[in-house]
Amino acid sequence: MRKLTTAELVARKPSPEEFARWSRHPIFVVCDDIRSLMNVGLIFRLGDATRIQRLYLCGITGYPPSPDDPRPPWVAQRAGQVIAKTAIQTVQYVPWEYRPSAVEVVRELKARGVQIVALEQTDQSVEYTRARYRFPVCLVLGHERAGVGESVLDLADVTVEIPMYGMGNSLNVAMAFGICVSELIRCCLRDVILFRGEAPLSPAPLPPGERGCSPPFPPGGSQG
């Protein structure tokens, strides 16, 4: 066994033009008042790695420079530079937009039949591996200290949390996103295999309904 070189990894990737035509997983992500630009960059990197449908940066969440950017030039430039440090050349590959209100975005998605999942510790939260996900799904991430806003939580169909086995109360928001979105991808791909009747990879996926992930695509259809 040997490690692959960077050149080998790059050679396995499609051209940007071809990548733009690839279908995306039916996962939307809403950042509700994320304070740290470094975290925003990490969320971009993870969003690219999991090929999410769209990233919404809301409220005080910083965002990369954009055409007709209303922010002072120095603010937009600094935001772009800091985000780029942890995004590692992935910003251009993640569909994103800035919206002042996370509540407005969540309401719009919910009206379109998207399941709203808030990653938050509440008295009704379930472990993220035991939630009954239904695609398309929107994962809401909150402020590093205050968490997801109450007005957004009121719109959530389910709240999920990651078990903490030590003395710490929670994980970094970007780290928590990486863990949870990986589970969403696993559920999504598993149900596509089950729905299409394809041979599953080892280990075999769980029976339909055990985790509640609905088959999101018609047989032979695309993920987009």
Show pLDDT as tens, one digit a residue, over the chain (224 residues).
999 999 999 999 999 999 999 999 999 999 999 999 999 999 999 999 999 999 999 999 999 999 999 999 999 999 999 999 999 999 999 999 999 999 999 999 999 999 999 999 999 999 999 999 999 999 999 999 999 999 999 999 999 999 999 999 999 999 999 999 999 999 988 766 554 554 443 333 333 433 334 333 333 333 33
Give the Å distances, CA to CA, from 73 to 63, 83, 85: 13, 15, 19
Domains of the chain: 19-196 (3.40.1280.10)
Confidence (pTM) = 0.85
